[in-house]
Structure 1
Amino acid sequence: MIFPWKKRRAERRCVARKNETLEGNCDLELMIPKHFQCPISLDLMKDPVTLSTGITYDRESIERWIEAGNQTCPVTNQVLKNFDQIPNHSIRKMIQDWCVEKKSYGVERIPTPRIPIIPCEVWEITSKIADATTRKDGKKCQELVGKIRNLARESERNKKCIVENGVGFVLSSSFESFAGDSMEKHEILLKEIVSALTWMFPLGIEGQSKLGSSKSLRCIAWFLKGEDLSIKQHATIVLKELLSNSLLDHQIFVDGLLEIEGVSEALFKILKVPIGPTSTNATLMVIYYVLQSKSSENLASRFVDFGLVSLVLEMLVDGEKSTSEKALGVLESLCNWEEGREMACKNALTMPLLVKKILRVSEMATEFAVSTLWKLCKNVEDESPVIEALGAGVFQKLLVVLQVGCGEKTKEKITELLKLMNHYRDRLDCFDSSTGFKYIQRPY
């Protein structure tokens, strides 16, 4: 006699064994043929190429091998006579046919890869762009710039090849030439060039001098003041890269910007009515670099009048790490001037936010926050900033920064602040808080 529960258990075991057998057969049938596998990654090759040694690899794998500084064939260990990678069309066709055969098992057909661009092709395109620029043929130049952008979209390898072969300089020269001719007439072309330049930095000294010329800067400022949100974002990115990657004295570029009417208003508007995180961060960086220049006092006053101090404080309330760091840098720069310090002291958010951001964002953000506190407490005759900071718990935070470690300049500022705040020992009870020192390690 067979009990029902024993019968059910036996049926379940039988079904399980059957499934295991089917799975095993599937695995067996779907095993990738060895000659379809890349010898480096052991994965199915998507873009098989053959080296001078006759061994075929997946293009991505062998490129990483060569870029790492290796000069030998991974399989034969022979020194490569050249680094040419010849597409193996026969193997690729066989792999694609195999993928079609195994479609019922979920295998997708590998698309036919595009042949990567090579330096001589890039040089040919740049020569045509230079020629079209000389002839002021905007239509032909726009067509060629579009071709460059399309090639870059195909792969990171293409983008790298384009950047390494001087396209940035050629486009910068073209931008300066057409901007000087007529911004309105060549508006679409100039927008195309700016969009392409966003990923072509660094440009080199010659490229930067072309893009930083008065003609180019006026065109970039024109885009900043326009209504096209996409080009405004691209213009801020280009301006930020130009100032941050400058091989020349960026004071030259800043002076050129300051001569253009309406730039400060345009930058403030981009922050006030944000386009996106990328443009916001780029704009904050541009303002920061401008405020670091020797001739930016009048510009700083205009920014304060616009309400930039309050705006960056609002950004700090719930801003992400990158934005908070840049906003603190702008706030610290604005506090170099009396108008900025006065406006910061009047805002109720200033001290709580500065204290909160210490040790909460990054090492650089902490340095900016400490420096801003130092400027507000040292350079304001009123004692209210010190009292507000103490009420927000700054004394304990500064002690922790000293314990954790910081730069020499920051250490000096913290020491001065602690000495200044020590005079208020008898007037405030914030020094006796046991919770404030709870996380400070003892030196013994």
Structure 2
Amino acid sequence: MAVTPGTFPARKRPPSSSLRLSDSKLTRSLFLLSHELSSLQPLRFILRLNSLCIIRRMKTLAAVLDDLLRFQFVYSHSVQLCFEEMHILMQRAKTLIDDCSHGSQLSLLMHIETVSFHFHELNIDLSTLLDILPVKEFPLTDDVAELVILLRKQCSLSKPSVDPRDDDLRREVIDLIDGIGRQIAPDHSRLRAIFTALGFRDSSSCTNEIERLEDEIQNQIDERSKSMAASLIGLVRYAKYVLHGTSPPPQPEIRRHKSVSEISIPSDFRCPITLELMRDPVVVSTGQTYDRESIELWIQSGHNTCPKTGQTFKHTDLIPNRALKNLIVMWCREQKIPFESSTEGGGQRTGGCTEPCKEAVEFTRMTVSYLINKLSVSSTMDESNSVVHELRSLAKSDSVARVCIAEEGAIPKLVRCVGSEHPALQVNAVTTILNLSILEENKTRIMETDGALNGVIEVLRSGATWEAKANAAATLFSLSGVASYKRRLGRKTRVVKGLVELAKHGPTSSKRDALVAILNLAGERDNVGRFVEGGVVEVAGEAFRELPEEAVAVVEAVVRRGGLMAAAAAFGQIRRLGELLREGAEATRESAAATLVTMCRKGGSEMVGEMAGIPGIERLIWEMIGTGTPRARRKAASLMRYLRRWAAGMDNAGDSHDQAADTQSIVVPTSSRIF
């Protein structure tokens, strides 16, 4: 738990039933808890004296309770109440020390006065309990009775205080941050002294502190606290590199974070439209929750009904579902998945702040400049790999870092690394470009940098590892988010062939990245013919069992936009699509039905006859009419009409209802890939 204002546990009394113990059990429980507290190590760097004071008093109290355990007697009601309150106080003390031990040291330092007061409160409350405790009722020895008197006196004399060394250290850190705001680079010897005093003696301890600060920034409410936390993260990142250098990446290269595509996302966390992890869940007027970007695209496309329920919107206001978003953030943290919220309310969110503070931006810029200069003078592949690995980590952190890395001229240097024969360096370089491409303005920088696009395409075709190929595919997906780039990429034969080959031969995660990129590029009608000629329909059909959602979505998009040629290419997949109607998930069945409707409309009786040969097809269609989503029910009804017309020998072409229904566009999943 973060040790910052507003995050301390409230001083709530536990339920009385949890403390209604027998006299001997209550005394033993108090003794064990006081003994546990007295055996704790005092805080090492910040608030050492405050924690040491509490621990010493717990040792004294443990001696008193140990003496009481030797006797059997009945407590009065007042003694029982005092001991119950003492039990609560000890739990508070343990929680406070634990929080200070495991939380961010810099955040603790910035709130040193508040936390010091919490320690002082413990002393005051212990003094009050000792004042009202009827010690004369206890059969204590004289020596132990004197300990109680001494402990009472010590607590009564306690005053709220901040260790002067802690206060001086806080002022030093604040001066550093203020200096950065004025673009004054910190003196390295001064920086080293501060970080040594905080216990950050190596790269690993700095990394741990960054992770703690990143956890805490999610719990901050006011923008000032978020800005301070962002500045502290920037300070530690900068100090980590200038004081300890870059760390060798793990060998062989191992992803520090999972891809969303590699794990099972809870259904409640998926957007009903894209089936991807929601980054900014919002509630519409029908009470359903969608990802903001997806539902805004749906509404802007002219729809006035809820995609899930089919109800007409009473209004188009989008209400943030903050409770669900917090659950998603917590789940991502547990799964080691980086989480960055999408734009909310029109402002770019960076590191949890609506507008990044200038100190955080300047620290990031200095860090990036240091890394890029080091990359320029690296003499070996391993040295370059270490630096690029750090840039990769930095590029996934937030949008400020992505802007700074691009503006400082990193992309041309990354392009040279992309062509490296060093497998880990190639993976790190192309993944850094992928992370940079998430930012819209960086897409243009990448596309306009000499050799950047060709380098990514070459990795897609002949990369050293499947991971490099998959991340190249994900980069092309990201770049194709710009309509003009989508057309440009689709015209390149190497892109088409590379994606189809990856979808055919790659491992599951790589196939998924290729299929999603193909699906996005197929949104441009001019690109569809090239993918059909490249064999994408057959490749997607082979992936129906392994990746049904992505594969059937590709076939649906290609058949819908590719004309009769695409429908003919998909003829051999009709029976497989029928299997998906029987075995697929809800979204997969809906997409398979939509694909069959388009094929029947474009391909005529031959297509319908092939579909009619699927065992049990009418029963499957009737089941979908009764239990499917609104769109699935409409598609299933169209399929049933085609079957009946075919059975009656009627021409099924030109069904205006189906043509109108098929004008609904396919929603392309948004990218969740950050590495």
Q: Percent identity?
A: 13
1:219 matched residue in structure 2: 455
Q: Aligned equivalents of 2:516 and 2:223: distance in 1?
A: 44
Q: 1:182 to 1:190 in 2, by over 3 A?
A: closer
1:52 matched residue in structure 2: 111
Q: Deviations for 1:176-230, whole angstroms, at most 9, x for unmatched residues?
A: 5764x8975898876543122344552122x011223474221111111214123
Query: 1:223-262 counterparts in 2 under 5 A?
Result: 223-229=459-465, 230-243=467-480, 246=481, 248-249=482-483, 252-262=484-494
Q: Could you tell me which of 546, 555, 567 is aligned with 1:341? A: 567
Q: 1:65 to 1:332 in 2, by over 3 A?
A: same
Deviates more, 1:64-73 or 1:286-295: 64-73
Q: 1:169 to 1:81 in 2, by over 3 A?
A: closer
Q: Could you tell me which of 540, 563, 572 is aligned with 1:312? A: 540
Structure 1 counterpart of 2:402, one-letter code: G
Q: Could you tell me which of 601, 604, 614 is aligned with 1:378? A: 601
Q: 1:237 to 1:23 in 2, by over 3 A?
A: farther
Q: Aligned equivalents of 1:23 and 1:201: distance in 2?
A: 58
- Asked whether 1:329 is paired with 2:553, we answer yes
**CA apart distance, 1:394:** 3.7
RMSD of the alignment, in Å? 4.7
Q: Could you tell me which of 340, 344, 366 is aligned with 2:589? A: 366
Q: Is the 8 A contact 1:309 1:343 kept in 2?
A: yes
Structure 2 counterpart of 1:225, one-letter code: R
Deviates more, 1:280-289 or 1:211-220: 211-220
2:411 matched residue in structure 1: 175
Query: 1:393-404 counterparts in 2 under 5 A?
Result: 393-404=616-627
- Asked whether 1:285 is paired with 2:528, we answer no
Structure 2 counterpart of 1:367, one-letter code: E
Q: Could you tell me which of 530, 534, 545 is aligned with 1:299? A: 530
1:418 matched residue in structure 2: 640
Q: Is the 8 A contact 2:368 2:405 kept in 1?
A: no
Gaps of 5+ in 2: 1-26, 43-50, 52-92, 117-207, 236-350, 352-358, 650-675
Q: Aligned equivalents of 2:566 and 2:226: distance in 1?
A: 63
Q: Is the 8 A contact 1:355 1:397 kept in 2?
A: yes
Q: Is the 8 A contact 2:580 2:592 kept in 1?
A: yes
Query: 1:2-401 counterparts in 2 under 5 A?
Result: 29-31=35-37, 35=51, 39=96, 45=102, 47-48=104-105, 49-56=108-115, 64=215, 66-71=217-222, 119-128=361-370, 146-147=386-387, 149-150=389-390, 161=397, 163-167=399-403, 170=406, 174-176=410-412, 179=415, 192-200=428-436, 202-205=438-441, 207-213=442-448, 215-229=451-465, 230-243=467-480, 246=481, 248-249=482-483, 252-274=484-506, 276-304=507-535, 308-317=536-545, 319=546, 323-335=547-559, 336-347=562-573, 349-357=575-583, 360-363=584-587, 365-383=588-606, 385-386=608-609, 388-389=611-612, 391-401=614-624
Q: Is the 8 A contact 1:130 1:170 kept in 2?
A: no
Q: Is the 8 A contact 1:354 1:373 kept in 2?
A: no
Q: Is the 8 A contact 2:543 2:551 kept in 1?
A: yes
**CA apart distance, 1:316:** 1.4
Q: Number of matched residues?
A: 349
1:113 matched residue in structure 2: none
Q: 1:228 is paired with a residue of what secondary structure?
A: coil
Q: 1:260 to 1:129 in 2, by over 3 A?
A: farther
Q: Aligned equivalents of 2:567 and 2:640: distance in 1?
A: 20
Q: Aligned equivalents of 2:476 and 2:619: distance in 1?
A: 40
Q: Deviations for 1:223-272, whole angstroms, at most 9, x for unmatched residues?
A: 112141232122112222333xx3x32xx223332443433222222122
Q: Is the 8 A contact 2:371 2:387 kept in 1?
A: no
Larger relative contact order, structure 1 or 2 (CA cutoff 8 Å, min sep 6): 2
Q: Aligned equivalents of 1:394 and 1:173: distance in 2?
A: 59
Structure 2 counterpart of 1:338, one-letter code: L
Structure 1 counterpart of 2:102, one-letter code: M
Structure 1 counterpart of 2:552, one-letter code: L
TM-score normalized with structure 2 length: 0.43
TM-score normalized with structure 1 length: 0.62
Q: 1:341 to 1:85 in 2, by over 3 A?
A: closer
Q: Aligned equivalents of 1:81 and 1:286: distance in 2?
A: 36
Q: 2:553 is paired with a residue of what secondary structure?
A: helix
Q: Is the 8 A contact 1:201 1:241 kept in 2?
A: yes
Deviates more, 1:211-220 or 1:49-58: 49-58
Structure 2 counterpart of 1:241, one-letter code: S
Q: 1:41 to 1:297 in 2, by over 3 A?
A: same
Structure 1 counterpart of 2:456, one-letter code: I
**CA apart distance, 1:325:** 0.8
Q: 1:212 to 1:404 in 2, by over 3 A?
A: farther
Structure 1 counterpart of 2:543, one-letter code: M
Q: Is the 8 A contact 1:169 1:203 kept in 2?
A: no
Q: Is the 8 A contact 2:431 2:468 kept in 1?
A: yes
Gaps of 5+ in 1: 1-20, 74-78, 88-115, 428-444
Q: Aligned equivalents of 1:151 and 1:169: distance in 2?
A: 8
